[in-house]
Structure 1
Amino acid sequence: MERDDDRKVARFAELVGRARSGVAFTGAGISTGSGIPDFRSPGGLWSRNRPIDFADFVRSAEMRREAWRRKFAIDDATRGAAPNAAHRAVARLAANGALAAVVTQNIDGLHGASGVPEDRLIELHGNGTYAACLDCEERHELEDLRAAFDATGDPPRCRRCGGVVKSATISFGQAMPVKAMARAQEAAEQADLFLVLGSSLVVYPAAALPVAAKRAGATLVIANREPTELDPFADLVLRGDLVELLAPFADRS
C-alpha cells in the first residue's frame, strides 16, 4: 500500500480478524496484479473498442464474429494469468470462515482458480473461461470453439441445438443473472463486514450492494487505487495496491 497510514492498515486487519459473515466484493483492481487489464482505465480495451451490445450480438453474425475475434485476442493477451496473493488471501479468508461470500464483477475465473469454494463464489458478470448456448445453455469449451473459428472465421453455433453460442459472461444490454443477484443481495444484507476490493463502484445494480450492506449494519471498507463515489459512506477507505494490502492474509490459517 501507499503509506496510507499504518493505523488504517491495522484497523483493516482488526476488522477482517473479527469478521464471521463477511463479504468480499471484488472488481478489476484485484486482478491487475495477475496481468488482467482494467478495461475502463485510460488506454484500456474499452477506450479503444466500443463494447458490443448484447442485442447487436444476437442480431448480427458480423457482430458475433467481431465479438469472438476480440474475445480470443484478449485470451491470447492474458494467457497464463494466475491468481495473485490478493486472490489467495480472499480464498483463505473464505476457507477460515471470515467470508461467507465472495461476490465478483470479474469474469476471469481467478477466484475459482484460487480455491474459493463454489458455494461461496458469486460471479455477477459471468465467467469468461467457457461459453454457453443462449438457447439451450449447453456448455462449450473455448479451445474447441477457437479451433473452429480459426479454421472458418464463422461465429460458433451450438452443437446440440444450433443456437447462438456466447462467452458465458454478461454483455452490455444483457439482463443480470437473477439468481446470482439474489444471492449477492442476501449475502450483503447478512454481512457483518463488507469489503470492496478493487472496484470503482460505477456499474449498477452491482454497485448498490455496498449500500445495502451498510444500511443493514455491516462495517463498510473500500480499498481501491482511485476514489469512489461511496468513499464518504464507508467506515474505512484505503488506497494503493491490493496485493500488498492482502498478501499478509494469504498464508494465515
Structure 2
Amino acid sequence: MRIFVLTGAGVSAESGLGTFRDKSGTGLWARFDPMKLATPEAFARDPAAVHEFYNFRRRNLLDARPNAAHLALARLQRELPAHGGAMTLVTQNIDDLHERGGARDVVHMHGELLKARCVTCRAIAAQRSDLTAESHCASCRRAGTLRPHVVWFGETPLFMEDICAALSDATLFVSIGTSGSVYPAAGFVSHARARGVRSCEINLMPSDNASVFDERRYGAASDVVPAWVSDVLGA
C-alpha cells in the first residue's frame, strides 16, 4: 500500500492554529483580508503590515504543540514499511507540527513559516524571530529583502513535480483537514480517481468536494486520525 496523505489547516486546529476557511465564518480569512496580507503586491505595497501579520503567526506557532493527529500520522509513516507499504506526507500547512510530531520528509507545498527567503539572492534560512522591513539577509547582507518563505496568493505552490509523481504512484489518497476549495490541492482527489485510486476524506465536517471521495470520516482530527491509522495498520 502506497498512501498519499494531504493535510490542511484542520489537522493543526486543535493545536491552537486557526483554519483559513470554515463554514462558521470564523476562519483566518474572515478576520483578515488576504489580498492585503498574503500577496506579492501586498508585500511590495506595505511590507511592515505583512511582516506584522506573519510575526504574529510565527509567535503563535512557536507556542503551539503537535496534537494526536500529528503523532498518529508520524506513527503511520514510521510503521507502514513493516507492513510492506510507504507513505508520502504533503501538507498545505506552513507550520512545523508534523515534524515536531515525529514525521520525516514532509513536503510543504505552501512553504514554511519558520523560514525566510531573500527576494534578491533567493537564499532560504531558518527564521524563528520577528522580521521587519529592515531585516538583513545573512547571505547577501542586503537590508529589507527578506520575506516569509510561504506561498502567497498568485504564486505557484512548491514541489509540484514531486507531488504529482507521488500522487501518480499512490494506491490510496487521503485528505485530512482541508476545505476542498484551494487549488491545485483540491484537485488531487480528482487526479487520484481518474487513475482508479481509492480516496478517503477525514475532516471535522464535509469539505466542498466531499462527494467525490470513496470513504468519509468526520470528527475532531485528534480522535478520527488516530483511529484511522490504527485501522490501516491493523488491516
User: TM-score range with shorter-chain normalisation?
Assistant: 0.7 to 0.9
- 2:58 matched to which residue of 1? 75
2:190 is the counterpart of 1:204: no
1:87 Cα shift? Answer: 0.8
2:74 is the counterpart of 1:88: no
**Any stretches of 5+ residues in structure 2 without a counterpart?**
none
| d(CA) in 1 for partners of 2:203, 2:20 | 15
**Any stretches of 5+ residues in structure 1 without a counterpart?**
1-19
Identical-pair percentage: 28
Q: Which AA in structure 2 matches 1:75?
A: R
1:53 Cα shift? Answer: 4.5
Q: How does 1:1-253 map to 2 (within 5 A)?
A: 20-41=1-22, 42-51=25-34, 52-60=37-45, 63-97=46-80, 98-118=85-105, 121-144=106-129, 146=130, 149=132, 154-161=133-140, 162=142, 164-177=145-158, 180-248=159-227, 249=229
CA contact (8 A) 1:130 1:139 kept: yes
TM-score (norm 1): 0.79
Partner SS, residue 200 of structure 1 = coil
TM-score (norm 2): 0.85
Q: Which AA in structure 2 matches 1:81?
A: A
Q: Which AA in structure 1 matches 2:150?
A: T
| d(CA) in 1 for partners of 2:104, 2:138 | 30
Aligned residues, how many?
221
| d(CA) in 2 for partners of 1:76, 1:176 | 24
Q: Which AA in structure 2 matches 1:84?
A: N
| d(CA) in 1 for partners of 2:115, 2:196 | 37
| d(CA) in 2 for partners of 1:176, 1:68 | 20
- 1:10 matched to which residue of 2? none
CA contact (8 A) 2:58 2:113 kept: no
Q: Which AA in structure 2 matches 1:168?
A: H
| d(CA) in 2 for partners of 1:188, 1:155 | 41
1:68 Cα shift? Answer: 0.7
The superposition leaves residues 199-239 of structure 1 with CA deviations (integer Å, 9 ceiling, x where unpaired) of: 11110011111111122121100111222233222111121
1:23 Cα shift? Answer: 0.8
